[in-house]
Structure 1
Amino acid sequence: MIYSDYAATSPMSEIALDVYQEVARDYFGNASSLHDAGGKAKDILERSRSMIAKLLYTEARQIVFTSGGTESNLLAVDTLLRASRLKGRKHVITTEVEHNSLYYFMKDLAHQSNIEVTFLPVDQNGQIHLSDLEKAIQTNTCLVSIQHVNGETGVIQPIKDIGEFLQDRDIPFHSDMVQSFGKIKVADLIPLVDSMTISSHKIFGPKGVGAIYFSKKLSLTSHPVSTNHEHGLRPGTVNVPGIAAFAAAASETLADLAVNQVHLQNIRNLFIRKVKSAGIPLQPIITENQCPSIIGCVSDFVQGDYVMLEYNRHGIAISTGSACSIGATELPKSIQPFITNLEEGKRFVRFSFSHHTTEKDIQDIIETSDTIFKRIMEERQGYDKKVNG
């Protein structure tokens, strides 16, 4: 199988698997327990926290572990909102292209609470304009939440510019960096955000583990569910084996980040070049600022779910968008700037690569694509002759 759905999840690396098994076997205690077994697990937990913090050039106490990207996003935003409510501010700014975990949470906030939410639009390149953000700010704005890299299109939002703009305005800034962490450099952005979220299974660690970075300048209130876990910010026993494997995977992935990023860019360029030269009826979504690991495409005439199944039948794994959106009836807003109508949107598919993707993989994908679309076109022509004949 050629796996080209890394934006959905990645396999665990051998190092992460080894660490997970060792810690699960030998350090099984509850990290909150006071006996020796608990103390050993606590030591592994804190060493893992320090490893993640070092990768982000921050301090261990700024890292809170969670069960994944979705919980990280919800917990980060909820924690920042609870702190802001103490100041009486009740206006949030986000975008129309956030990950579902935040987009629908924000929609619910707007309908079920007394918090006002402004959803910023994006332009023809899928990016927000800083001028729109500036216009949206109110005297009671308590949070800005903007995703770094979109999981369907790979579009990168100008987090650096947004962070610099907000720095002197006393408005907390959260960014979902689940799709960017381990793919492009994010450590330079840490001083410009008040919280950011990352996930283990996107970078060859186990599923069910994520983390939040909280800036030390924040005054955070404890979670309403009384808890002694994760500095009082998160209820529930922490997954020590998963966290240790996450830290190992993150260290391994980021050690070669610069090399991997160059490889991904070369793989992306090769894919786009070969799609065009082979006349494959797929139109890659190409714009100015995109993460090289993600390439969204619109088929010329076949629905995306059918295309995905055809690739699967030939041993190639791709997707029709974010795995968290599968089953949703609404077209993802992230692809709307790049299509002209709903029918085009239904023809969307996504290829997503990693440093394990080879040039041979790309060549095989192109050859398979040629086979798939030629057969589909022949079937269409045969059907048209039958109908019109």
Structure 2
Amino acid sequence: MIYCDYAATTPIMEDALSVYMEISRKHYGNASSLHDIGSNAASVLENGREMLATTLQTASNHIYYTSGGTEGNRLAIDTLLRCCTGKKHVISTMMEHSSVYYHLKNLHKTGDVEVTFLTGDKQGLISLEDLAANIRPDTCLVSIQHVNGETGVIQPIEQIGLFLRKQGIYFHSDCVQSFGKIKIDLANIAVDAITISSHKIFGPKGVGAVYFHPRVVLIENPVKMNNEKGIRPGTVDVASATAFAFAADYMHKHLAEHLSHLQNIKKYFIEQLAVHQLPLIPVAENNISCPSIVGCLTATTQGDYILLEYNRYGIAISSGSACSLGQQQIPRAIMPLLHNKEDGNRYIRFSFSHLTTFNDIDQVIDISAKIFSRIKEEQSVL
């Protein structure tokens, strides 16, 4: 099997797995317990938090562990909203991950906040002009993702953050798809909260983290929470959290070489699509998209059908976010990139990592040629 679905999840790296197993055996205590076994677990947890904070160039007391990206996004939004005294307007985008989009939709429906969803330009990019035009006197929070997991489009969060900081508006960014793949320098990004996740960077599943800027005076959840300084419930998984930190440390130490490799892999893949005249059309412009993701429209065939054909040949790809599959909906993130809504049914996504080789790409191209050649023959018979 050739795996080209790294945007959905990644296999846990061996070092992180070893750390997970060792911590599970030796430091199994509840980090909140007062006895020595609990204290030892707490020490291990904090050591991991320090390591994770170093990858983000921040202090460890600004990092809060979660169960992953979905909880992290909701926790970040809800926590920042508690700090928005007397203001109820939120701005986000139509392209957000479902954990942000549907959470905000529900908060809007229940009347807790009013939400404006921006659509962006033809690539789904949000401009400062569009953002500024939608800010109201009661705007308290903006939530805009860094890298879209379906198209790879990178939002200009550095410029957005600086603009919002001047307006005194909180800014949250879902960085689940960018963390460990492109540089995130919190020292130079005016962001109040970001969300990150372990399983996107070769760590274990079921763990993530939220960073809160020190200017945010956190207000505890009114429903009493016992962990992570009172902002979330549940016993922290010390083994998973520490393994996450080790995976993050590895990815950031090798970020430059991985990024260079991914840029070359993506360039080669797109070139080979053209050389072999394959009916796969990349949808996002290369200069504004993450090198790990290539979303394509097929010429005439349903994306789900193509996905199954690739799977039959031993290649794993996606037709969109794994969190959206099964809903029989065209991914919202690709809508700005389409000429018409029906085009969305022909969308497939290839996503790569530092483990992807040029030989992998050659095999994907060869099998793509076989698939589309057979489809062309079948359609000519019809």
TM over 0.5, shorter chain: yes
Range that drifts further, 332-341 or 48-57: 332-341
CA RMSD of aligned residues (A): 1.0
Pick aligned residue for 1:136 from 134, 137, 160: 134
Change in Cα spacing, 1:99 to 1:190, as seen in structure 2 (3 Å) is farther
**Deviation string, structure 1 residues 145-182 (Cα, Å, up to 9, x no partner):** 00000011000001011011111221110000000001
Range that drifts further, 324-333 or 200-209: 324-333
Matching of residue 269 in structure 1 with residue 283 in structure 2? no
1:4-43 matches, cutoff 5 A: 4-43=4-43
Q: Tell me the distance in 1 between the aligned counterparts of 2:22 and 2:325.
A: 35
**Secondary structure at the counterpart of residue 230 of structure 1:** coil
**Deviation string, structure 1 residues 346-368 (Cα, Å, up to 9, x no partner):** 01000000000000000000000
User: 1:296 matched to which residue of 2?
Assistant: 295
**Secondary structure at the counterpart of residue 140 of structure 2:** strand
Change in Cα spacing, 1:265 to 1:226, as seen in structure 2 (3 Å) is same
Q: Tell me the distance in 1 between the aligned counterparts of 2:257 and 2:310.
A: 29
Range that drifts further, 238-247 or 226-235: 226-235
Following superposition, the deviation at residue 225 of structure 1 comes to 2.5
Task: Decide whether the 8 Å contact of 1:310 with 1:372 is kept in 2.
Answer: yes
1:1-389 matches, cutoff 5 A: 1-84=1-84, 87-188=85-186, 191-287=189-285, 288-382=287-381, 384=382
Following superposition, the deviation at residue 189 of structure 1 comes to 6.3
Task: Decide whether the 8 Å contact of 1:143 with 1:171 is kept in 2.
Answer: yes
**Deviation string, structure 1 residues 260-299 (Cα, Å, up to 9, x no partner):** 0010000000000001110111111131311000000000
Task: Decide whether the 8 Å contact of 1:225 with 1:235 is kept in 2.
Answer: no
Q: Tell me the distance in 2 between the aligned counterparts of 1:196 and 1:300.
A: 37
Following superposition, the deviation at residue 337 of structure 1 comes to 2.0
Q: Give aligned-pair identity as a percent.
A: 55
Q: Which amino acid aligns with 1:370?
A: A
Q: Which amino acid aligns with 1:343?
A: E
Following superposition, the deviation at residue 191 of structure 1 comes to 4.0
Task: Decide whether the 8 Å contact of 2:57 with 2:187 is kept in 1.
Answer: no
TM-score (norm. length: structure 2): 0.98
Change in Cα spacing, 1:114 to 1:37, as seen in structure 2 (3 Å) is closer
Q: Which amino acid aligns with 2:377?
A: E
Q: Tell me the distance in 1 between the aligned counterparts of 2:282 and 2:206.
A: 32
**Secondary structure at the counterpart of residue 213 of structure 1:** strand
Q: Tell me the distance in 1 between the aligned counterparts of 2:14 and 2:80.
A: 36
Range that drifts further, 121-130 or 289-298: 121-130
Task: Decide whether the 8 Å contact of 2:157 with 2:189 is kept in 1.
Answer: no
Following superposition, the deviation at residue 224 of structure 1 comes to 2.2
**Secondary structure at the counterpart of residue 327 of structure 2:** coil
Task: Decide whether the 8 Å contact of 1:148 with 1:176 is kept in 2.
Answer: yes
Gaps of 5+ in 2: none
Following superposition, the deviation at residue 376 of structure 1 comes to 1.3
Task: Decide whether the 8 Å contact of 1:183 with 1:261 is kept in 2.
Answer: yes
Range that drifts further, 189-198 or 305-314: 189-198
Q: Which amino acid aligns with 2:175?
A: M
Q: Tell me the distance in 2 between the aligned counterparts of 1:333 and 1:190.
A: 30
Change in Cα spacing, 1:72 to 1:312, as seen in structure 2 (3 Å) is same
TM-score (norm. length: structure 1): 0.96
Task: Decide whether the 8 Å contact of 2:141 with 2:170 is kept in 1.
Answer: yes
**Secondary structure at the counterpart of residue 168 of structure 1:** helix
Q: Which amino acid aligns with 1:49?
A: R
**Deviation string, structure 1 residues 59-103 (Cα, Å, up to 9, x no partner):** 00000000000000000000011121xx21111011111111001
**Deviation string, structure 1 residues 187-215 (Cα, Å, up to 9, x no partner):** 25664100000000000000000000001
Q: Tell me the distance in 1 between the aligned counterparts of 2:317 and 2:331.
A: 17
**Deviation string, structure 1 residues 316-371 (Cα, Å, up to 9, x no partner):** 00000000010123322211122212221101000000000000000000000001
**Secondary structure at the counterpart of residue 198 of structure 1:** strand
Q: Which amino acid aligns with 1:125?
A: Q
Following superposition, the deviation at residue 228 of structure 1 comes to 2.9
Q: Tell me the distance in 2 between the aligned counterparts of 1:220 and 1:113.
A: 23
Task: Decide whether the 8 Å contact of 2:119 with 2:336 is kept in 1.
Answer: no
Task: Decide whether the 8 Å contact of 2:172 with 2:194 is kept in 1.
Answer: yes
Task: Decide whether the 8 Å contact of 1:223 with 1:235 is kept in 2.
Answer: no
Q: Which amino acid aligns with 1:131?
A: E
Task: Decide whether the 8 Å contact of 2:153 with 2:284 is kept in 1.
Answer: no
Task: Decide whether the 8 Å contact of 1:83 with 1:219 is kept in 2.
Answer: yes
Gaps of 5+ in 1: 385-389
**Secondary structure at the counterpart of residue 205 of structure 2:** coil
Q: Tell me the distance in 2 between the aligned counterparts of 1:204 and 1:146.
A: 24
User: 1:387 matched to which residue of 2?
Assistant: none
